[in-house]
Homo-oligomer: A and B are copies of this chain.
Amino acid sequence: MALAFRLDASSGVPTYRQLADQVRRALLLGYLQDGDQLPPVRDVATALVVNPNTVAKAYRDLERAGLVKPRAGQGTFVTGSVGPVPAATYTQLSASLRRWVRSARGAGLDGEQVRALVAAVLDDEQVGGAVA
């Protein structure tokens, strides 16, 4: 599976930004690597029921950031990977975070509260980064 975009219309974040952020995230985590192809604009647009221009805008932003490069008639390709997390580290950290999430839900917190707690802790721990 090339990349599964997800949109949250109620988040207030512009669609094109959600898309671009998800690609950035995939790069940061090593899901996407140098040379990989992004799904064609039209495919994403029809899959998400979104205007092709909106997807194109996201891709264009990524291009301006130097992360991908369009090749006319061929598609859009990742141009540089951004210090991906080693697989083992990634597996271990995501597993332990998953456990934490489940314990939180087990303690009775709903989705909103989990996100609120996470946001509060990340802010407090000075975890910067625009990709939220």
Contacts and interface: CB of A to CB of B under 8 A. Distances in A.
A120 to B, nearest CB: 6
A125 B98 CA distance: 7
Oligomer copy total: 4
A88 B77 CA distance: 47
A101 B122 CA distance: 8
A11 interface: yes
Interface string A104-132: 10011111111111111111111111111
A87 interface: no
Contact of A109 (B85, B117, B123): B85
23 contacts: A12-B17, A24-B116, A25-B120, A28-B112, A28-B113, A29-B113, A83-B110, A83-B113, A90-B117, A93-B100, A94-B117, A94-B121, A96-B103, A97-B117, A101-B121, A101-B122, A101-B127, A102-B125, A112-B131, A113-B129, A114-B122, A115-B127, A116-B131
